[in-house]
């Protein structure tokens, strides 16, 4: 079988992902990033690609079958569309769309292309989330009524390494990131385990600015957003975007008519599977605490991968779709991916409006496309310096203090 020729756009996260493609017998033929330090680090992970580029126009002209899109969080869609138009398969980091109009344009481009488009969302492939899906698929929990997802990733205010690596100029997207936007790590595992798709969203933000004497250029004083969706199967999900409260960790829970399953916070991936005493399946106990296994022939390679093995499994899924000539399943396909982007974007608007509910569009339908095809509201600076067009914080007038901003610039040598 022909070895797939893969390019990497965005050498930071992109090269982390690319290592899994090497394990899966692909060739990484081109690397592109505008930052020289990222290029150097990428070449340490991915040695001897055929070419290195600093601009996308040159990069996309290279002979390759697929592209890993790992550029700025809010800038995936324009590059994905250009790849799709050339028939290049797309493995896109999340979220896939920074605006509602971009979601419409992405779906239209994907439908016209023969190339595979897949959301590179890895958290559903974590061991405990795979186990939750296995149990939900087995139906012993009955009908799934409710799910919770929490992606909690606080960073220390004095973490200079994080600033230099991930938040290195004042207009960086992380300084304007609404708390609903980084949503796929908490939402996608629930969608995959249950098969449900959000149809309506409401959200509330938790406002708690950092102290005035820490380095910061952030215009977001919120620590978290609590998001609730009503889904197409009448279930309800409650989840966060990227939260910064409590202790770091990821937790998920599914509740059905007959029982529930969750991974336990701080317990290294163990799950608790519980049944009502009148619903205990044969051979099970009412309360079952255990560490799930991979049960996968590639376990040795999985264990070498990032994010608890999830990066390898996500790359393997993408390559299987490419080689079989099929689009990925829910929730990794373009329609599910744009649903999650819509939850992020419209959830933020809900939070700005004290929890006003928003219907989530299904971009299979033309009426939804027409409604949102010109909706370009964004909390981020554009690639050419265009100013944000919507507030990024629940308190729209929030700004970093002069002292915070001075310390931020001093730390980065700006």
Instruction: Tell me the per-residue pLDDT of 103-161, one tens digit each, with 9 for 90 and over.
Output: 999 999 999 999 999 999 999 999 999 999 999 999 999 999 999 999 999 988 889 99
β-pairing, 27-32 vs 5-9, is parallel
Judge whether 13 lies within some domain: yes
Structure tokens belonging to residue 60: 């996309």
Judge whether 63 lies within some domain: yes
CATH number at residue 274: 3.30.360.10
**Residue ranges of the alpha helices (H) in 264-333?**
299-302, 310-324
Q: Are residues 116 and 133 in the same domain?
A: no
Burial of residue 357 (number of CB atoms within 10 Å: 0-12, 13-18, 19+): middle
**Whole-Å CA distances, 181 to 98, 111, 151, 219:** 9, 25, 12, 14
Write the pLDDT tens digit of every residue in 305-349: 878 889 999 999 999 999 999 999 999 999 999 999 999 999 999
CA 268 to chain centre: 22
Threshold 0.95, pTM exceeds: yes
Residues spanned by the domain of 277 = 124-298+334-372
CA–CA dist 267, 290 (Å, integer): 10
Q: Are residues 128 and 264 in the same domain?
A: yes
β-pairing, 144-152 vs 236-243, is parallel
Q: Are residues 229 and 343 in the same domain?
A: yes
pLDDT reading at 234 higher than 80:
yes
**Whole-Å CA distances, 234 to 129, 195, 246, 357:** 21, 12, 30, 16
CATH number at residue 33: 3.40.50.720
pLDDT reading at 1 higher than 70:
no
Q: Are residues 268 and 358 in the same domain?
A: yes
Q: Are residues 42 and 89 in the same domain?
A: yes
CA 382 to chain centre: 20
Write the pLDDT tens digit of every residue in 360-389: 999 999 999 999 999 999 999 999 999 999
Tell me the CB-side half-sphere exposure of residue 225, using CA atoms within 13 A. Answer: 34
Q: What is the dihedral of CA 390, 173, 327, 196, to 10 degrees?
A: -60
């Amino acid at each position: 079988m022909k070895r797939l020729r893969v390019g990497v756009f965005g050498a930071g996260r992109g090269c982390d992902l690319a290592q899994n493609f090497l394990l899966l017998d692909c060739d990484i033929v081109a690397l592109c990033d505008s930052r020289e330090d990222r290029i150097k680090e990428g070449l340490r992970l991915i040695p001897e690609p055929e070419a290195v580029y600093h601009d996308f126009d040159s990069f996309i002209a290279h002979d390759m079958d697929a592209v890993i899109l790992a550029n700025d969080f809010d800038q995936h869609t324009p590059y994905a569309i250009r790849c799709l138009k050339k028939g290049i398969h797309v493995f896109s980091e999340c979220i896939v769309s920074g605006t509602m109009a971009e979601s419409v344009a992405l779906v239209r481009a994907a439908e016209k292309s023969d190339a595979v488009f897949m959301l590179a969302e890895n958290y559903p492939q974590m061991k405990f989330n795979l186990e939750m899906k296995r149990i939900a698929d087995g139906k012993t929990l009955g009908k799934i009524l409710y799910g919770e997802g929490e992606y909690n990733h606080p960073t220390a205010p004095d973490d200079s390494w994080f600033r230099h690596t991930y938040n290195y100029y004042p207009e960086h997207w992380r300084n304007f990131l609404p708390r609903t936007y980084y949503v796929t790590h908490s939402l996608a595992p629930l969608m995959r385990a249950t098969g449900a798709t959000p149809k309506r969203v409401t959200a509330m933000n938790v406002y708690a600015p950092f102290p005035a004497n820490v380095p910061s250029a952030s215009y977001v004083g919120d620590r978290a957003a609590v998001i609730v969706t009503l889904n197409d199967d009448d279930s309800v999900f409650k989840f966060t975007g990227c939260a910064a409260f409590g202790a770091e960790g990821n937790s998920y829970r599914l509740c059905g008519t007959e029982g529930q399953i969750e991974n336990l916070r701080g317990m290294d991936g163990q799950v608790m599977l519980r049944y009502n005493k009148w619903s205990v399946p044969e051979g099970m106990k009412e309360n079952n605490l255990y560490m799930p296994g991979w049960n996968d022939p590639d376990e040795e390679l999985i264990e070498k991968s990032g994010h608890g093995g999830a990066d390898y499994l996500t790359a393997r899924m993408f390559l299987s779709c490419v080689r079989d000539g099929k689009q990925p399943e829910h929730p990794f396909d373009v329609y599910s991916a744009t649903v999650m982007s819509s939850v992020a974007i419209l959830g933020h608007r809900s939070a700005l409006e004290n929890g006003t509910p928003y219907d989530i569009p299904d971009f299979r339908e033309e009426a939804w496309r027409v409604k949102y095809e010109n909706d370009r509201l964004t909390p981020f600076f554009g690639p050419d310096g265009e100013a944000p067009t919507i507030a990024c914080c629940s308190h729209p007038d929030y700004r970093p203090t002069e002292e915070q901003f001075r310390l931020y610039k001093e730390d980065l040598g700006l």
